[in-house]
Amino acid sequence: MVTNEAAYQATKGGPLDVDKAFYDRVSGNSRNSGSSSDSGSSGSSGARRLVDSFTIPVRSGRAWEVPAGHLCRIVTVDGPQVGDFNVWNRHDPRERLWASRTRQLQRAHVSTYDRLWSTLPFLRPLLTVTGDTLADYGTDDTGGRVHDLLGTRCDPYVNRMLTGEDFDFHCHSNLVRAVLPYGLTEFDVHDVLNVFQCTGLNEDDQYFMKACPARPGDHFEFFAELDLLCALSTCPGGDLSVPLWGPDAGDPLEVCHPLGIEVYEVDDALLEGWASPQPAAYRNLHGVTLPSWT
């Protein structure tokens, strides 16, 4: 069987290598796979202290801050639910998630030890995934996988185009409202990580979505490499078991659930030797010759 090697590779010890032992230590996980009862579970322990928690209701959105060196966890509170996630550098929102480059540097569906990378000219990890109770889901019998970077957020513009109707609570709109208190606008909302969403490409190379496999208490956790501004929409499609468009479309309100957010401060001793990644080393000249005044 012929296999295709990943196009984007780095030398050993390069920027694509991840110190797994460090992230295991910081997260408190002796293993990072499909158990919702690992040692980094909700609440405070000697290694982490809960500093913020809240619930995002159905069909809504919220933005929040995660300081560098902290952990953040997204939790399915009482049932399967897809969440559309955006993330920025808290101090410069021009630096934000670059979904397409993350697909190339990591994979199209992310899990433990994968990173979300930022846009040019910064090109550095914004966060590193430290825990995923759906890590063992793998690839199902139809090619579906979870935590999707293939697609993007649902939005009212496409909805109007496909149905002729307006609906103001798609993920794009939820994210727009969420970031307004931080001085951001619709132009700052960007391609998302679809947390807990199961997707793939069919035999015609077309994007498909499946019912979310998460159970109550499942979580997706990450380590903030920079001071972050995060935003999450609880998708109006809920667990996506009811099609939003097409001949079988219906109102999925009954399969919508809230999502919980937990932010943890990490013991300083566990961060020894770690520092926020620096922006890309390229000098930003792009072949332009600087003038000479001599």
Q: What is the pLDDT of residues 77-123, one digit of tens each?
A: 999 999 999 999 999 999 999 999 999 999 999 999 999 999 999 99
Q: Which residue has the higher pLDDT, 42 or 259?
A: 259
Q: Does the structure show a pLDDT above 70 at 60?
A: yes
CA neighbours closer than 13 Å in the CB half-sphere of residue 198: 21
Nearest one of 194, 199, 189 to 81, comparing CA atoms: 194
pTM recorded for the entire structure: 0.93
The stretch 64-89 carries a mean pLDDT of 98
Which is it for the CA torsion 205, 209, 211, 212, positive or negative? positive
The upper half-sphere exposure of residue 155, i.e. CA atoms within 13 Å in the direction of its Cβ, equals 14
Both tokens of 291, joined, read 């003038």
Q: At residue 156, what is the residue type? A: P
